[in-house]
Amino acid sequence: MQVIIKENYDEMSKEAAQIIRDAIHLKPNLVLGLATGSTPVGTYKELIRMYEEGELDFSKVVTFNLDEYVGLPPNHDQSYHYFMHDKLFNHININPANVHIPSGIAKDFAKYCQWYEDEIKKAGGIDLQVLGIGSDGHIGFNEPGTSLASRTSLVTLTEETIRDNSRFFEKEEDVPRFAITMGVGTIMEAKCCLLLANGEKKADPVSVLVEGPITSQVTASALQMHPNAIVIVDKAAASKLKRVDYYKWAYENRPRF
């Protein structure tokens, strides 16, 4: 696991965008896994800037989003369909046919989840998966106790996640109680995982993700077993890591060949 510590949110976002840019330059038809929430917004803004300035072409890129609330139609202003189009897709030249976001209004969720898994396989698997981390250490909506071998499925959100996400809704009662999410096992099959975290609230889960035991109680900790995981955090999110000096030294002295 490579841990990159940046001074602040803006620097973290730019570093992540540069990694994504380089991946698209290397493979124009990159299969890119995307996340929602406040954390990746800065990265998406930077990708939009790169596109507008001619640095990036998204016309062949294929995307798969991690998750979606159950019960929210795509045009709902708190759905992840709406979020992704508002924060990224409406501002770049991505082909709508190449965009995949889980449906929160599927009629048969079991069949739909299998279809989503099959679509990822048809695309050749995810090359680069962008991730955030919840305050309880979850990735996607894989809450504490989720099997580290789980696949895309319908899940029940924890009270903590509902409270955390209530800031996006008028009141806590409006937050959906269920979601559809890629499983931990699905995420772990991505060729590269890029996890972003910022702020003091993420310091505890980041410390377990990087230096704690591998446990289903913190599903992000599964990334310790991934052969190519990159964690980019700001100083606040890194504040409880014990080996900060090494992570900085390793980044500054990383191979450049």
Q: What is the Cα–Cα distance from 68 to 80, expressed in whole angstroms?
A: 6
Q: What is the Cα–Cα distance from 79 to 88, expressed in whole angstroms?
A: 14
81 assigned to active site? no
143 assigned to active site? yes
In a domain, 48, yes or no: yes
- Please give the share of the chain, as a percent, with pLDDT higher than 70: 99
Confidence check: pLDDT of 256 > 80? no
77 assigned to active site? no
In a domain, 127, yes or no: yes
Q: What is the Cα–Cα distance from 79 to 108, expressed in whole angstroms?
A: 19
Confidence check: pLDDT of 165 > 90? no
From the list 81, 138, 226, 234, the catalytic residue is: 138
In a domain, 113, yes or no: yes
At 186 the three-state DSSP class reads: helix
For 153, half-sphere exposure in the C-beta direction (CA atoms, 13 angstrom radius) is 15
Q: What is the largest CA-CA distance in the chain?
A: 53
How high is the mean pLDDT of the chain? 96
Intra-chain end-to-end CA distance of the chain, in Å: 19
At 151 the three-state DSSP class reads: coil
CA 234 → CA 44, 159, 203, distances in Å?
17, 27, 10
What's 231's domain CATH number?
3.40.50.1360
Give 43's contacts (C-beta < 8 A, 6+ positions apart). 13, 16, 17, 20, 130, 196
From the list 46, 67, 127, 234, the catalytic residue is: 67
Tokens describing residue 190: 């991505």
In a domain, 257, yes or no: no
From the list 46, 117, 143, 234, the catalytic residue is: 143
Residue 167, pLDDT score: 87
| H helix count then E strand count, the chain | 8, 10
Per residue in 168-220, pLDDT (tens digit) is 898 898 899 999 999 999 999 999 999 999 999 999 999 999 999 999 999 99
245 assigned to active site? no
In a domain, 119, yes or no: yes
Q: Which residue segment(s) compose the domain that 101 sits in?
A: 2-252
Q: What is the Cα–Cα distance from 214 to 229, expressed in whole angstroms?
A: 14
Per residue in 63-82, pLDDT (tens digit) is 999 999 999 999 999 999 99
From the list 46, 68, 136, 234, the catalytic residue is: 136
Q: How many domains does the chain have?
A: 1
Residue 130, pLDDT score: 98
For 209, half-sphere exposure in the C-beta direction (CA atoms, 13 angstrom radius) is 33
Q: What is the pTM of this model?
A: 0.94
